[in-house]
Amino acid sequence: MILQTEFEEYLYKKVNENTKSKTKEAMSYSLMNGGKRIRPQLCFALLKGYGINPELGFPAACAVEMIHTYSLIHDDLPSMDNDDLRRGKPSCHKAFDEATAILAGDGLLTKAFEVILNSECDNEQKVKLVYYLSSYAGIDGMILGQDLDIKAELEPNPSFEQLLEIDKYKTAKLLTLPMILAAILANHEEDIETLKKIGLLSGIQFQMQDDILDITQSEAQLGKSTSDTENDKLTIVSLLGLEQAKQMVEQYDKQLRDAINCLHCDTKYLEEIFDFLLNRTY
């Protein structure tokens, strides 16, 4: 992992700065509750591949991780997935209460933009970073994926195409985002279209792998609730079965590797992350 300890310290500092409150305690509880930090690592790996100090990406990566954590807090709420466990600990609304969890999610979302705007990159870059942050996390990005996911639960026979559309927005957008932010910071915007393709492929593959792990691993191994089956959620396994789902993951991985080879940088750091994601067991 690239600068993992240093980034954890940066996250802790940012989420705990200024006035203390119960909501801020809940924000810190969820943000600092472990996790693989895959999205920040994607940002750092790309910056390193461009020959730039990954620390330049700390504010952008922090913003993405705050938004990702806010989405998990809200996903776990009783009105959404109603999950009591997240990363091996009680979900935010169980550790605190539902109202505080809602505020913690709201706080992380808005804090993300503050962190970006207080960063040291130039103003033109800040405008671009904020644009992509709001676009990919917003109603035409991750939130659209959540909307489509809720809609699919109400349909008797959801399709494979619907599943791909959900994964495209709910998962892939926040995996694409840190790579685009890195390209902007590195002044390599010629790679953005390729990164969009990489993000889409990796996002679909990541979610398929998650669906497989929900079936093959226990809650204790995963550190989170395996509630998709109980809630009749649309997953690659529920549609295609376990073996065909595994074959789909391999197919997407080949396409992903082909796309990575089109980038204008040293890709070994990025490939190491995707190797980890393909072979992960949690």
Residue ranges and CATH numbers for the domains of the chain are: 4-279 (1.10.600.10)
Tens digits of residue pLDDT in 182-197: 999 999 999 999 999 9
Q: Is residue 225 pLDDT above 70, yes or no?
A: no
Tens digits of residue pLDDT in 109-155: 999 999 999 999 999 999 999 999 999 999 999 999 999 999 988 88
Contact between 146 and 178 under an 8 Å Cβ cutoff? The reply is: no
Taking residues 160-166, report their average pLDDT.
Answer: 93
Taking residues 105-112, report their average pLDDT.
Answer: 98
DSSP character for 174? H
Taking residues 50-56, report their average pLDDT.
Answer: 98
Q: How far is CA 16 from CA 61, 92, 105, in A?
A: 17, 16, 15
Q: Is residue 34 pLDDT above 60, yes or no?
A: yes
Helix H or strand E encompassing 47 = helix 38-49
Tens digits of residue pLDDT in 80-98: 999 999 988 999 999 999 9
Taking residues 229-250, report their average pLDDT.
Answer: 84
Global pTM value: 0.93
Banded pLDDT at 224 (limits 50, 70, 90): low
Q: Is residue 230 pLDDT above 80, yes or no?
A: no
Q: Is residue 227 pLDDT above 60, yes or no?
A: no
Is residue 41 packed enough to be buried (19+ CB in 10 Å), middle (13-18) or exposed (0-12)? buried
DSSP character for 18? S
Q: What is the pLDDT of residue 221?
A: 64
Banded pLDDT at 156 (limits 50, 70, 90): confident
Q: How many residues does the chain have?
A: 282
Taking residues 223-244, report their average pLDDT.
Answer: 74
Residue 43's nearest CA partner among 197, 190, 196, 177 is 177
Helix (H, G, I), strand (E, B) or coil at 85: strand
Q: Is residue 226 pLDDT above 60, yes or no?
A: no
Q: Is residue 176 pLDDT above 60, yes or no?
A: yes
Q: What is the pLDDT of residue 158?
A: 85
